[in-house]
Structure 1
Amino acid sequence: MAEDPIQTTELDILVVPETNLILVASVIEPLRVANRVSGLDLYRWRIMSPDGLAIETKSRIPVPVDEVFRPENETTPLFVLSSHNWRRYATSALKTLLAKTARHRSVVAGIESGTWLLAETALLDGFSATSHWEDYEEFSSSYPQVRTVRERYVIDGKRITTGGSLPTLDLMLELIRRRHGYSMALEVSRQFIYEQGGTPGDAAAMPSTGSVRLADPRVSHAMRLMEEHIEQPLTLARLARRVGVSDRHLQSLFRETIGAPPHVHYLALRLNAARRKVIETRLAFADIAALTGFNSASAFARSYRAHFRESASDTRRRLRPGSGLVA
């Protein structure tokens, strides 16, 4: 994918009948949120079905589609979504279309049982792939030409596979991170956080950024401290002491758990908080800088522009309340 963060990424999404509604949402919602929090058309997608009719999901809520799946020579990524009874819909016609379009696509992704459809079409031969944990042994024995691995999702060159709905959400966050950086992935992930009432703070679920499996409790504690000290950021040494590890060990824990060092996560938290204040308030930028831990307005301005590729004034102009772009 290109590095220009303003360029729109287009995707084609083929939804097979009897797909779970949450699986469809796991692909689309992170893209929608990325568009909303950026105020830009970062992603566009077309939803297709094998016959052009709305998909009746297992929850009996239909998914409208834009068109029938009749690909030509499109190069945009193709996501193939399937959940239940995939064999019923793996017709020779559909497999032929998948095989033909895969020659041109930059990426073909099998989402949950979509992995089976790709394997059945020989599109995973020689690639590493994963499947839902319930089907792992059967999938591995059925397709020995595929390097089956026990992972939540697998990105192997031009092929992507996932093992379920929540792994798909992790995948989409990772793709957003690769395309638009850690700050964007973090801000999108925070829209999906649910914390059960009464859960101890350190044990609460932490946002996933694509590489998170289970957050180390020490990393969770450090993240919580960062969130509590946005206005007056803690140094790495103080964070490490509060968590009970050395500076170097804390850095290693962060890299192992979220794939980013503490200072990257901390700066992303502060800049995302600043961005929300730019959008949602009329505070002066100097005041926002002070509230988010920057020692000067100029330092804030430089950091803001480096992360968001626009000035705070530009953001406020585009995404001011009432503009209709942040709803």
Structure 2
Amino acid sequence: MHTPLTATRLPQDTDKPCRFVFVLLDNFSLLAFSTALESLRVANRMAGRTVYSWTIIGEGGASISCSAGTSFQLDSDLVDMGRDDRLLVCGGIDIQASTTKKLLGWLRRESRKGLMVGGLCTAAYTLAKAGLLDGRRATIHWENQDSFAEEFEDVNLTKSVFVVDNNRVTTAGGTSSIDLMLKLIADDLGEDLANSVADQLIYSSIRTDQDTQRLSVPTRIGVRHPKLSQVIQMMESNIEETISPSILARDVGMSTRQLERLFRRYLNRSPKRYYMELRLQKARNLLMQTDMSVINVALACGFASPSHFSKCYRAHYDTTPYRERGSHATRLSI
């Protein structure tokens, strides 16, 4: 049996809990939403009183489906918010399609009240589209980073698991919702209670906004070789203006032949081939997640001509960039 902890910052009046309003978008991430909600539930239990309340709303006010296909009953449509409410928009796949004009207008209007507005998982896109992240630090799921950076130049995009910038908060998705909620709970009620919530969730590695969302290069590729990791990091940071293998090799203190052998040994491909795959992956993300022209996608990924880009894309994905985008648009309309 746990011993309730005394709140240090939220008022002791149990009739006035801090209310979170979750706005669920079509195809939202169930993991990002459920972990945020569970953190609040456990905080109430560990505090021994109702310090947090919540409501679940969405456009239309009826029901909404998560990306796993399960439907959820909404409490209401997009209603007026209280000035002390905390608003969290939860996105998922196909975030552009679920970011409607009605939703954007509502977010702009409610944000003028000065309340906290946040985006879980891909919902940072929705906040940025509404102009709520201009001049702010923010994060979004790593798969959406390339397209987000291309579309929202006024947002200071980071690779953190979550970001708190004054009254704007964003997360990278997945379990990063827990990290954000633990941060908010600690600010409201003290670190002791936040740590108790983490213990109840069996969450032993609490991350801060200084932690990045992706695994380190050695962990991702399954190889711990410092020079190989360094070269891959250089490749990932220079997609639009590529670096030749000879310069990559020189910068890590080896010959081009040694670099070739290193990639062949650990990754079973040449540096050139590996670099090409990184560029094509970014191109695919841009084709799926933005309305950039194929020519601009090609240029953003270091290809000098659309024809060369199309040839390389087809060799790797067995389809052309135009067909890829067309088939994706067809799937969204079904």
- Report how many aligned residue pairs link the two structures: 203
- Would the alpha carbon gap of residues 73 and 207 (structure 1) be closer, same or farther in structure 2, given more than 3 Å must change? closer
Q: Which residue of 1 aligns with 2:9?
A: 3
Deviation at 1:152, TM superposition (A): 0.6
- Would the alpha carbon gap of residues 105 and 165 (structure 1) be closer, same or farther in structure 2, given more than 3 Å must change? farther
Conserved? CA contact 1:102–1:108, under 8 Å: yes
Q: Which residue of 2 aligns with 1:129?
A: 138
Q: Which residue of 2 aligns with 1:190?
A: 199
- Would the alpha carbon gap of residues 87 and 190 (structure 1) be closer, same or farther in structure 2, given more than 3 Å must change? same
Corresponding residue SS for 2:175: helix
2:43 to 34, 38, 45: 34
Q: Which residue of 2 aligns with 1:144?
A: 153
Q: Which residue of 2 aligns with 1:117?
A: 126
Q: Which amino acid aligns with 1:88?
A: A
Q: Which residue of 1 aligns with 2:53?
A: 44
Conserved? CA contact 2:139–2:171, under 8 Å: yes
Conserved? CA contact 2:33–2:177, under 8 Å: no
Higher mean displacement: 53-62 or 92-101:
53-62
Conserved? CA contact 2:138–2:158, under 8 Å: yes
Conserved? CA contact 1:192–1:207, under 8 Å: no
Question: Structure 1 CA distance, aligned partners of 2:68 and 2:62?
Answer: 17
Question: Structure 2 CA distance, aligned partners of 1:105 and 1:66?
Answer: 23
- Would the alpha carbon gap of residues 209 and 31 (structure 1) be closer, same or farther in structure 2, given more than 3 Å must change? farther
Q: Which amino acid aligns with 1:208?
A: I
Q: Which amino acid aligns with 2:44?
A: N
Deviation at 1:212, TM superposition (A): 8.5
Q: Which amino acid aligns with 2:206?
A: S
Deviation at 1:60, TM superposition (A): 2.6
Conserved? CA contact 1:75–1:104, under 8 Å: no
Q: Which residue of 1 aligns with 2:65?
A: 56
Question: Structure 1 CA distance, aligned partners of 2:196 and 2:81?
Answer: 36
Question: Structure 2 CA distance, aligned partners of 1:72 and 1:178?
Answer: 22
Question: Structure 1 CA distance, aligned partners of 2:39 and 2:28?
Answer: 18
Deviations 1:15-52 (A, max 9, x none): 11111211211210000001112220010011101110
Q: Which amino acid aligns with 1:71?
A: D
With the length of structure 1 as denominator, give the TM-score of the two structures. 0.58
1:108 to 113, 117, 127: 117
Conserved? CA contact 1:78–1:107, under 8 Å: yes
Conserved? CA contact 1:51–1:68, under 8 Å: yes
Deviation at 1:89, TM superposition (A): 1.9
Q: Which amino acid aligns with 1:79?
A: L
Question: Structure 2 CA distance, aligned partners of 1:179 and 1:75?
Answer: 13
Unaligned runs of 5+ in 1: 195-205, 215-327
Conserved? CA contact 2:18–2:84, under 8 Å: no
Corresponding residue SS for 1:67: coil
1:208 to 198, 206, 209: 206
Could you say what the CA RMSD is over the residues aligned between the two structures, in angstroms? 2.2
Superposed counterparts of 1:237-316, under 5 Å: none
Question: Structure 1 CA distance, aligned partners of 2:151 and 2:131?
Answer: 12
Conserved? CA contact 2:25–2:90, under 8 Å: yes
Deviations 1:202-250 (A, max 9, x none): xxxx342656859xxxxxxxxxxxxxxxxxxxxxxxxxxxxxxxxxxxx
Conserved? CA contact 1:174–1:209, under 8 Å: no
With the length of structure 2 as denominator, give the TM-score of the two structures. 0.57
2:176 to 143, 150, 167: 167
Higher mean displacement: 134-143 or 123-132:
134-143
Conserved? CA contact 1:172–1:210, under 8 Å: no
Unaligned runs of 5+ in 2: 1-6, 213-334
Corresponding residue SS for 1:113: helix
Deviation at 1:161, TM superposition (A): 0.7
Conserved? CA contact 2:8–2:189, under 8 Å: no
Q: Which amino acid aligns with 1:36?
A: R
Q: Does 1:94 align with 2:100?
A: no
Q: Which residue of 2 aligns with 1:153?
A: 162
Conserved? CA contact 1:5–1:180, under 8 Å: no
Q: Which amino acid aligns with 1:160?
A: V
